[in-house]
Amino acid sequence: MTAGLADIAGEPAVTPDGHSISLTVNTGLAAEIERALEVGCAGVGLHRTEFPFMVSPRFPGEDEQIERYREVLEAFAPLPVTLRTLDVGGDKPLPYFPSHDENPFLGWRGVRMTLDHPEIFLTQLRAMLRASVGLDNLRVMFPMVSRVEEAERAAALLRRAHAELAEEGVLTAIPAIGAMVEVPAAVYQAESLARRLDFLSIGSNDLAQYLLAVDRNNSRVASIYDELHPAVLRAVASVGEVGQRLGKPVSLCGSMAGEPAIAPLLMAMGLESLSMSSGRILRVKRVIRTIPYSAAQALLEAVLACETPGEVRRLVNAEMDRYG
């Protein structure tokens, strides 16, 4: 941890004019859990559950999954931990369950696959619920939602898993349920999703990829994969506005949450939490503690009037220079 930054590890993420935001971590591997606990955070905004599925020679069973989920839920309790249901396909293939998609990024990904296999989905949801017994800090989030019915069906399966467990005598609270907004269709249906769910979380890595039609892992087009593209910023701002209007929390868990120069803009868009890798938390916290909310709001207004990523970048960099 850089000296100076370490001093704010125990301090809240509050602007000089008193606006707070939750800074949470993204986890997946056990080592990430340890690192996150060291820097101090408000919980886990995204736990990617796919890693054990990717390194295993077959689908891990319910008990095996419980162990993994319990580890992270227990490590952060009583802070909230958002477990994302299996998000394979796209850039995360499962060797023992190939999708045979010609275009995996537009194919059988995330909740599309798990809804087609309720036995896989229910096993995971049961494992999450069983892992949370006695802790009650679980939140469940569904990836790659592009239709309202997907969110409804996934939430219904979660309630079914909960009812099954209750019949078996396993009692636990129904967790908060959310969807990732990472497909342009979900941006335009954010209001319908928010009315049906407890929270939304913007997956800006995929959202930028799909909005800009740029493969996020293709180095040839890397220079036009740009989170400061006005279309990306307007999409994020519109979801933030929906959350504020409906009183539903919206977070962002893609890599732009961990960019100190962008975080104040996201805060001004009304996002109530930003989730990032643990190595980013303190730098983002420092900028939040430095730039007043009123200045972030003025910056956002100017940024939303920009027509090119270059104009946005100039404004954002000038603001960073102003506050050192």
Residues that bind ligand PEP (CB under 6 A): 46, 48, 87, 182, 203-206, 253-254
Judged by CB under 5 A, the residue of 28, 52, 80, 203 near Mg ion is 203
- In the bound state with ligand PEP, the residue whose beta carbon lies nearer, of 16 and 107, is 107
State both tokens at 53: 């599925």
- What is the C-alpha separation between 250 and 61, in angstroms, rounded? 32
Judged by CB under 5 A, the residue of 182, 227, 259, 319 near Mg ion is 182
Report in angstroms how near the CB of residue 171 gets to ligand PEP at its nearest. Answer: 31
156 C-beta neighbours (distance < 10 Å), count: 10
* Region of 197-205, 237-245, 267-275, 300-308 interacting with Mg ion (CB under 5 A): 197-205
Neighbour-count burial for 172-201, b at 16+ CB within 10 Å, e otherwise:
beebebbbbbbbeebbebbbebbeebbbbb
- In the bound state with ligand PEP, the residue whose beta carbon lies nearer, of 27 and 132, is 27
Report in angstroms how near the CB of residue 57 gets to ligand PEP at its nearest. Answer: 22
Radius of gyration in angstroms for the set of CA atoms belonging to the chain, rounded to a whole number = 19
Given ligand PEP, Mg ion, none, residue 253, with its beta carbon under 5 to 8 Å by kind, binds ligand PEP
Count the residues of the shown chain that bind Mg ion, applying the rule CB under 5 A: 3
Report in angstroms how near the CB of residue 186 gets to ligand PEP at its nearest. Answer: 11
**Is residue 257 within 8 Å of residue 204, measured between CB atoms?**
yes
* Residues shown for the chain: 324
Report in angstroms how near the CB of residue 207 gets to ligand PEP at its nearest. Answer: 7
- In the bound state with ligand PEP, the residue whose beta carbon lies nearer, of 82 and 189, is 82
**Is residue 48 within 8 Å of residue 87, measured between CB atoms?**
yes
Measuring CA to CA, which residue among 183, 182, 180, 164 is closest to residue 172?
A: 164
The closest residue (CB) to Mg ion is: 206
Judged by CB under 5 A, the residue of 32, 50, 150, 206 near Mg ion is 206
Q: Please, which residues bridge with residue 48 across strands?
A: 84
The verdict on whether omega for the bond into residue 184 sits within 30 degrees of 0, i.e. cis, is no
State both tokens at 123: 């096993």
Given Mg ion, ligand PEP, none, residue 88, with its beta carbon under 5 to 8 Å by kind, binds none
- What is the C-alpha separation between 5 and 262, in angstroms, rounded? 18
Report in angstroms how near the CB of residue 223 gets to ligand PEP at its nearest. Answer: 19
Q: Judged by CB under 5 A, does residue 258 bind Mg ion?
A: no
Given ligand PEP, Mg ion, none, residue 40, with its beta carbon under 5 to 8 Å by kind, binds none
User: Which residues 6+ apart lie within 8 Å of 121 measured at CB?
Assistant: 85, 86, 114, 115, 154, 157
Residues that bind Mg ion (CB under 5 A): 182, 203, 206
